[in-house]
Amino acid sequence: MTDAPTKPLMDAIQYQFKEPALLDEALTHRSVSERNNERLEFLGDSILNFVIASELFVRRPEEPEGALSRLRASLVNKDSLAAIARQLQLGDWLHLGSGERKSGGRRRDSILSDAVESIIGAVYLDGGYESSRALILRLYQERLARLPEASELKDPKTRLQEYLQSNRLALPTYEVNRVSGKAHDQTFNVSCHVAGIDIVTTGTAGSRRRAEQVAAAAMLDRLTADSPAEETQGND
């Protein structure tokens, strides 16, 4: 475990715990102890989704349910949470088992994002709903201030499919070209093909799903802008 006191982290999130043990638990990965942050993550995830949904409901009064759902998903997904964790330098505070430390657990998106949700859950238990809501709004202040249009948030595979259908073209197919890396840290390279079109695009990312999205985005760019196809890197 990290021996340094967590007061600087409390200063960073602008919340001082009455029970610091809750923060310690929120920073403890399951690789360390049976008493870890998984339950707090479950709680924090629910609170986060509710608070963000409530904010979007107020900020976008004209948007239908589907658009609000896409906006919420763009804010509470693993990538966004991991980015917030990195802004807080949360990886420096995590309590990880030796295996996770050696394999780069302090930088892993899944671990970082879970820790943010765990801290939200811990703040809720320590200070109540209003404290956890205030924390979420602080963490998401910039993202909420620059919300995109919901139409921009359709994932690349959906946008590509809609484009192809509107132009009466065949639907895309995806093929895994190679998988590299160890089981806990794999990288996928995927190609995207459209029958009848002499274009192949590729995407590389930390999951097959994300690699397919990257390849689809590259294909859509090619079809709409007629630019050269290049392999694109994506973050899981």
Which is catalytic among the residues 25, 55, 114, 117? 117
Could you tell me which residues are beta bridge partners of residue 46? none
**Residue 173: helix, strand or coil by DSSP?**
strand
* Number of residues that this document lists for the chain: 236
End-to-end alpha carbon distance in the chain: 27
Do the beta carbons of residue 91 and residue 106 sit within 8 Å? yes
Token code pair at residue 90: 């949360």
Catalytic residue among 24, 25, 41, 45: 45
* 45 is known as an active-site residue: yes
**Catalytic positions, please?**
45, 117
